[in-house]
Amino acid sequence: MGRAVKRVVYDERHIAAKVREMGGAISAAYPEGDLLVLGLLKGSFIFLSDLVRQITRPLQVDFLVAASYGDNTFSSGNVRLLYDPETKLEGKHILLVEDIVDTGRTLGRLMDLLSARRPRSLEICALLHKHVAKELKYPVRFTGFDAPNEFLVGYGLDHAENFRHIPYIASLQ
């Protein structure tokens, strides 16, 4: 699979406990109204599927596929949607679910785009947050782990599309 795993950063039990805690916090944060959980593909697919099963209030699930463009992919900060949610966002609580926040540029552009659709509320939930950016235009409302500034894989996160299926989160050599 290319590079080798260096160390396990968060094991399965650690992740499961955190996801349960986040599900509880999200359930409590939305006492009423329509909640749409929007997963940002591909990285959030495992986290999202575990997370929604820990949320004890009605919700709907959809996904976003975003593509960065420009010379240097993610650092350009330009984003366009390859798959746009089917559902209307207007009047709903939208919870955007991301695997990991690094510079926050991807999220910043996406949030601009989504807020223009007049949701009732718009918040970010990220399993991992590197806290690299000095200030984020849109702070992360629900964070799982404050992650080390290493390249992490597993539990949905990839390196060149590999390692997504690993059930724990590891850093690479």
- The catalytic residue positions are 102
Q: Based on the shown chain and the rule CB under 6 A, indicate whether residue 23 belongs to the binding site for ligand IMP.
A: no
Near ligand IMP by CB under 6 A, which window of 25-33, 53-61, 98-106, 117-125? Answer: 98-106
Assess 157 for contact with ligand IMP (CB under 6 A): yes
99 makes contact with ligand IMP (CB under 6 A): yes
- Binding part of the chain for ligand IMP, among 18-26, 27-35, 49-57, 104-112 by CB under 6 A, reads 104-112
- Interface pick for ligand IMP out of 48, 95, 98, 114 (rule CB under 6 A): 98
Residue of 10, 13, 35, 1 whose CA lies nearest to 99: 10
Q: Is 151 near ligand IMP (CB under 6 A)?
A: yes
Q: 3-state secondary structure string, the chain? A: CCCCEEEEEECHHHHHHHHHHHHHHHHHHCCCCCEEEEEEECCCHHHHHHHHCCCCCCCEEEEEEEEEECCCHHHHCEEEEEECCCCCCCCCEEEEEEEEECCCHHHHHHHHHHHCCCCCEEEEEEEEECCCCCCCCCCCCEEEEECCCCCEEECCECECCECCCCCCEEEEC
30 vs 169, which CB is nearer to ligand IMP?
169
Cα angle, residue 161 at apex, residues 84 and 45 outer, rounded to 5°: 45
Q: Closest CB to ligand IMP among 54 and 103?
A: 103
- 143 makes contact with ligand IMP (CB under 6 A): no
Does the protein bind ligand IMP through residue 100 (CB under 6 A)?
Answer: yes
Binders in 43-62 for ligand IMP, by CB under 6 A: 43
Residues contributing to the site for ligand IMP (CB under 6 A):
43, 74, 98-106, 151-153, 157
